[in-house]
Every structure is written in structure tokens, then in C-alpha cells.
Amino acid sequence: MEFEEERALLIRSLKKYGISDKVLSAMEEVPRHFFIPQSESGRAYVDTPLPIGNSQTISAPHMVAIMCNLLELEEGQHVLEIGTGSGYNAAVMSRLVGDSGRIYSIERIEELAIFAQKNLKRAGCSNVEVLRDDGSSGYPLKAPYDRICVTASAPETPLALIEQLKTGGIMVIPEGGSYQQLFAIKKNEDGSIVKKKWGDVFFVPLIGKYGFKN
Ligand code: SAM
């Protein structure tokens, strides 16, 4: 089948990051070449970010794997994603939460929201809802969420997102401008927050009310 061998090789190479078998299997099921422009399809299974138009990128596969791993996603969970981009990360999360789960993914650029919707449909992800909006204030309508995944870098974690996280929930978010770090934030049962740094990263900026200004 098209690209299957390249995909399997790429996924195998991600084991060195300590990614769970569950996340690796979900990534093996999602055809990344469905989520990039035709002109980039030759690099679909190279571990690198790729341009998707509007000066935005699909994240590198190892970064998607690391974020999904930190999120500890389980069947049936409700997840908020800020920064749909191509829809690829949403598709991997969609496999991890299964048919009983749901992904609400917000994208500020209309053209990308439409691109992602088309890609997700082609990949058979029926449990993902893409919304066109500024996601820096979250999506209160469907809150609280078991998990929140932010795929663009914020000046600091918006309070609104912490409020929309369930107790016991996990949020993964990059923070910073030219120097960025990825954090996993857990909300304990008593409402207190534990924030753990994963390491240095490089994401496009979160632009919006509680992000950077355009
Ligand atoms: N998760 C994506 C994927 O799998 O292709 C990659 C995301 S890309 C690194 C970050 C995305 O965040 C961009 O598409 C950008 O337009 C979007 N973004 C930036 N600020 C945003 C905001 N305030 N609300 C929603 N989306 C935002």
C-alpha cells in the first residue's frame, strides 16, 4: 500500500523518545500524507515539520508523538485542541480516544480549518469537530475537558484554559516567544496545579486575545 513501509520505519524511529506502544500504533494508523499539500508528499514520512500554507506548519512526527504521550489519552475522553493546522495531530488523538471520545479542535485561519476538515474526512475521523475561531480563550461551550492540547506557543498559559480543564485532567502547552518550552500541566482533584517542563521546543505563535498580538 502507498507509503506504508516509510510510515512503519518512521514510527519505529520514534521509539527512542520513550513513546508508548498505544501512541505509536495510533500514529501507524494515520496516513500523514493525507494532511500535507501534494507538493510536500515526498517528505510526508520524514521526521520534520512541513509547510501547510498561510505561513503555518504541520508539526514534526516526534513532536506529535511526545505531546500525545504526555497527554496520556484514553478511550472516551473529550479533548480540546487549540491549533488544528492540517488536522494531523487531531487525527492521531481521535484514534486514541476512540469512537466514544470526541476532539474539539479550534483553528484561527479559515483556509486551514477547511483544509483540516477535508483531510480528517478523508482519514475517516468522524469524532473530530473543527471550529474556526481564536482558541486562546478555549471553547467554554463544551468545557470541562479531560485533556487540552495547545499546538502553538503562548506567552503564558491562558487562565481560561486552566479553568476549562477537568480535575484530574492534563494540558500540554508550549510557552514562550523566541525561546520556548513545552509543559504538561495536571489539575489535581483539589484543584491545585502541577506544572512539569518537558524541554525546549519550537512552535508557531498562538495569536489571539490571550496569545501574542498579530
Ligand atoms: N496541530 C497541527 C497539525 O497537526 O497540523 C499543527 C499546528 S500549527 C504548529 C499551529 C496552528 O495554530 C496554526 O495552524 C495556527 O494558525 C494555529 N493558531 C495560532 N493561534 C491560534 C489561536 N489563537 N486559535 C486557534 N488556532 C491558532
- For ligand 1, whether the C-beta of 60 sits within 6 Å is no
Average the pLDDT over 60-73 and give the result.
98
Of 35, 40, 82, the residue with max ligand 1 atoms within 8 A of its CB, to mutate for a pocket test, comes to: 82
Residue 21: inside a domain, yes or no?
yes
Q: Quick check: 57 pLDDT over 70?
A: yes
* Grid cell listed for 164: 476549562
Average pLDDT, the chain: 97
**Which domain range does residue 120 map to?**
4-201
13-50: pLDDT as tens digits:
999 999 999 999 999 999 999 999 999 999 999 999 99
So what's the pLDDT on residue 214? Answer: 84
Question: Which has the closest alpha carbon to 21: 79, 68, 63, 60?
Answer: 68
So what's the pLDDT on residue 88? Answer: 98
Residue 208: inside a domain, yes or no?
no
Residue 207: inside a domain, yes or no?
no
The catalytic residues are 59
Count of the separate structural domains present in the chain: 1
For the chain, the DSSP string reads -TTHHHHHHHHHHGGGGT--HHHHHHHHHS-GGGGS-GGGGGGTTSSS-EEEETTEEEPPHHHHHHHHHHHT--TT-EEEEE--TTSHHHHHHHHHH-TT-EEEEEES-HHHHHHHHHHHHHTT-TTEEEEES-GGG--GGG--EEEEEE-SBBSS--HHHHHTEEEEEEEEEEEESSSEEEEEEEE-TTS-EEEEEEEEE--PBPBSTTSB--
Which residues in 72-111 are b (16+ Cβ under 10 Å) and which e? bbeeebbbbbbbbbbbbbbbbbbbbbeeebbbbbbbbbee
Q: Quick check: 2 pLDDT over 90?
A: no
Residue 213: inside a domain, yes or no?
no
Of 147, 204, 212, 214, the residue with max ligand 1 atoms within 8 A of its CB, to mutate for a pocket test, comes to: 204
Residue 54: inside a domain, yes or no?
yes
Q: Quick check: 136 pLDDT over 70?
A: yes
Residue 210: inside a domain, yes or no?
no
Q: Quick check: 1 pLDDT over 90?
A: no
Residue 159: inside a domain, yes or no?
yes
CATH number at residue 88: 3.40.50.150
Whether the CB-CB separation of 88 and 35 falls below 8 Å is answered with yes
- For ligand 1, whether the C-beta of 77 sits within 6 Å is no
pTM over 0.95: yes
Average the pLDDT over 97-115 and give the result.
98
- For ligand 1, whether the C-beta of 158 sits within 6 Å is no
**Ligand 1 centre from 190 Cα, in Å?**
31
- % of the chain residues with pLDDT over 70: 99
Average the pLDDT over 2-10 and give the result.
91
**Ligand 1 centre from 85 Cα, in Å?**
5
Residue 175: inside a domain, yes or no?
yes
- For ligand 1, whether the C-beta of 117 sits within 6 Å is no
142-169: pLDDT as tens digits:
999 999 999 999 999 999 999 999 999 9
